Structure 1
Amino acid sequence: MEKKPDPIYSRNVLEFVAAANEFCKYAERSSEIKGGELLRIFQRLLPYLYIRASLLPSLEPVFEDGNEKFVTESDWNIIHDSLKKQFGNTDLYPDISDAGPEGPEAIAESSISENLSDMYQDIK
């Protein structure tokens, strides 16, 4: 009987891990990169990360409680504050949602640094 290969070591998973590692590297070093250059880096990296994530295999969770978190609140705050400082007044943007209590379209203010910090926390 032939053993089925472990999907965790598939090419798609390994390429996602490599893209996630690049994202985390730039998030962690954001204070060393000028804001405009950092935005250009993320503009190229985020679509690639999205594509890699879309190709991940569907797997059943191993643990009922979900995965262990490795990013502390302090780590998150350091990443967030660094990104927010780099983006300056370009950090906030209008976020239009399709449905909400205000009606069919609601406009809220979102933060690039907060969204990127949340992504960092999820993929680190």
Structure 2
Amino acid sequence: MEKENNPVYDRNTIEFVAVALEFCNFVETSSQHSVFDFVNKATKLLPLLYLKATLLPDVEAEEEVEPDLTVTEDMYESIRTKLATLLGEHDTYLDTFHPDMKYSDAPIAAFISENLADVYQDAGNFVALFREGNEDAMREILAICKENFRTYWGGQLLNALKALHTIRYDEDANLDMNEEE
């Protein structure tokens, strides 16, 4: 397939790769940030990742191509644990959009760390397969990533962003604002 007509080389795909890579590096190094720095940058990076995901070109998944996914359960858990440790008491929020909410009288707790680990799983698999340069695998992961964004991790990203926004702009959150002040 020619590069001009190939969604793998579409400008929006390449821009998504760049932002997804930045997001993955950011969460992988989260333990090097203060809580304020992490929350401050996340509230800027997540909307960009969401925007770039909405602009990905439409691609049909092919059943015979099965890409090798590289984000393991251990990697997922490592990212989730790092984020939970960094965020501490700020990790938990009440999820009003949880599917079980319609059956519950009590609020349902959710975790920013879990939301972001879910986003990391798809973004990390996407970036890893793009690094390999196999066009068939790149095309397949593009289709998978866009579908997973639509059905799952896009909502997870927005849930985390809303919780992070609340933390970032809550005057009573007592975050160390050493960079800002």
CA RMSD for the aligned pairs?
A: 2.1
1:11 matched residue in structure 2:
11
Q: When the two structures are superposed, what TM-score results if normalisation uses the length of structure 1?
A: 0.87
- State the Cα distance separating 1:66 from its structure 2 match: 5.4
TM-score scaled by length of structure 2: 0.61
Aligned-partner residue type, residue 94 of structure 1: L
Cα distance in 1, alignment partners of residues 117 and 29 from structure 2: 13
Q: Which residue of 2 aligns with 1:96?
A: 96
- List gaps (5 residues or longer) in structure 1: none
Structure 1: 4+ residue segments shifted above 6 A: none
Separation in structure 1 between the aligned mates of residue 89 and residue 64 of structure 2, nearest angstrom: 41
Q: Give the Cα separation in 1 of the matches to 2:64 and 2:95.
A: 33
Aligned residue in 2 for 1:68: 68
Unaligned ranges ≥5, structure 2: 125-181
**What is residue 43 of structure 2 aligned with on the other side?**
43
- Judging changes above 3 Å, is the alpha-carbon distance between structure 1 residues 42 and 59 closer, same or farther for their aligned structure 2 residues? same
Q: Return the offset for 1:68.
A: 3.0
Identity in percent: 37
Note if contact 1:93-1:111 (Cα within 8 Å) is conserved in structure 2: yes
Tell me the equivalent position of 1:34: 34
Aligned to 1:79: 79
Q: Is the 8 A contact 2:80 2:114 kept in 1?
A: yes
What residue in structure 2 maps to residue 57 of structure 1?
Answer: 57
Give the number of the structure whose residues are more often helix, by fraction.
2
Residue type matched to 1:102 in 2?
Y
Native 8 Å contact 2:98 2:108 kept in 1: no
